[in-house]
Amino acid sequence: QQQVKQSPQSLIVQKGGISIINCAYENTAFDYFPWYQQFPGKGPALLIAIRPDVSEKKEGRFTISFNKSAKQFSLHIMDSQPGDSATYFCAASMNSGYSTLTFGKGTMLLVSP
Amino acid sequence: EADIYQTPRYLVIGTGKKITLECSQTMGHDKMYWYQQDPGMELHLIHYSYGVNSTEKGDLSSESTVSRIRTEHFPLTLESARPSHTSQYLCASSEVSTYEQYFGPGTRLTVT
């Protein structure tokens, strides 16, 4: 049973475009929703995270949109750059961090020059 | 930048060999984790620890074992490597009451 479903599996965006990756979750007890970015040969690194008490969080070109009623959240990358080409993972956790992270299957993003 | 280290980075080993993948962190984090990841694929939690002398199995069944004798060290051992163990192994750590996990660079294991 996959508790966090991520789509699309891969995405190609032109430089300057908007990249959008979506995730849906099932467990309403989740209270923390991070996005991780992973470059080839590296471990994932936290990019941005949101709690369910807000609907949107923005950090630079990266924005998380959160829809609690639909149990969905998405990552938007504005003005996508070739350096953003990486694999992106959404995740979810609960219990103030005492539980583990549940990851989505990942989205491989390629930003073409 | 997170101070979490994994050695070796790459390992090619024959079937039946015993191997230990090392993971160390200098952040004083109590929680540590091991994930298995096939290239470009999702992360599967195989072991985690809340602190010294604490170890738990993760969501993915694994033939590996772990130990946590020191806070900063969380090694993973395969008693008898098999080709099905070929994968990337990622170590991570976090504070007990926070969500953010810091990942190491990974060990890419190939069993021939």
- What letter does residue A14 receive in the DSSP assignment? E
Nearest chain B residue (CA) to A95: B97
* Cβ–Cβ < 8 Å for A96, A70: no
* Chain A: closest CA distance from residue B9 (Å): 9
- Chain A residues inside the 8 Å CB shell of B105: 41-43
Beta pairing class for B4-7 and B19-25: antiparallel
Least confident of A50-59, A94-103, B67-76: A94-103
Q: Which pLDDT tens digit goes with each residue over B24-34?
A: 999 999 999 99
Which of B25, B43, B47 to probe the A interface (max A CBs under 10 A)?
B43
- Mention every residue, 6+ apart, whose C-beta is less than 8 A from residue B62: B36, B46, B47
Tokens of B57: 């199995």
For residue B32, give Cα distances in angstroms to B26, B37, B94, B96, B102. Answer: 12, 16, 6, 9, 9
Are B104 and A43 within 8 A, CB to CB? yes
Contact B42 A103 (CB under 8 A): yes
DSSP A78: S
DSSP state of B54: -
Q: What is the pLDDT of residue B96?
A: 77
CA distances A21 to A54, A59, B76, Å, are: 19, 16, 33
Q: Cβ A106–B42 below 8 Å, yes or no?
A: yes
Instruction: State the pLDDT confidence band at A2, using cuts at 50, 70 and 90.
Output: low
Average pLDDT over residues A31-59: 93
Q: Per-residue pLDDT for B97 more than 90?
A: no
Subunit contact A43:B41, Cβ cutoff 8 A: no
pLDDT at position B95, please? 86
CA distances from A7 to A32, B9, B52 (A): 19, 30, 38
Q: What percent of chain A has pLDDT over 90?
A: 81
- For the segment A52-92, what is each residue's pLDDT rounded down to a tens digit? 899 999 999 999 999 999 999 999 999 999 999 999 999 99
Residue B111 pLDDT class (50, 70, 90 cuts): very high
Residue A80's closest CA among A37, A112, A108, A50? A112
